[in-house]
Copies of this chain bind each other. A is one copy, B any other.
Amino acid sequence: MKIGQLAKVSGCSIQTIRYYEKEGLLNPPSRSEGNFRLYDEKALKELEFVKHCRSLDIPLIDIKTLLELKNRPEESCSSINDLIAKQLDLVNQRIKELKVLKSELQIMKKACSSDNTVERCGIMKTLEV
């Protein structure tokens, strides 16, 4: 199958597929006589793996690591565990930050009603520290 079809099936854009190939996340596929990329079922599976990892906010560099490990079945999977734990920490941290942010924004929202001028705006006063 050609890249457009792969894009359709995977839900990943053509440019992104090419980008992933360039970044080493996907293997360069075989080519047609016209130099079109030709993908098989294995390539689709690999792309879906990458895409799944991305949906977990795992950075590309770490996805590459996972892909390498995937090709070494006899190796210890402790680094996979570490990677997921790290990702979980980052997510927890970000949730915490966003909750603080949310509180601030909620307070600010209450500091002003719609019928003010800028100089009387409670939000603006808060922003001015």
Interface residues of A (CB under 8 A from B): 45, 48-49, 52-53, 55-57, 66, 69-70, 72-78, 80-81, 84-85, 87-88, 91-92, 94-95, 98-99, 101-102, 104-106, 108-109, 112-114, 116-121, 123-124, 127-129
Contacts and interface: CB of A to CB of B under 8 A. Distances in A.
A120 B84 contact: no
Contacts of A119: 73-74
B91 A109 contact: no
In the complex this chain forms, how many copies of it are found?
2
Contacts of A102: 88, 91-92, 95
Contacts of A84: 105, 108-109, 123
B129 A78 contact: no
Contacts of A118: 69-70, 72-77, 80
Contact of A53 (B70, B75, B127): B127
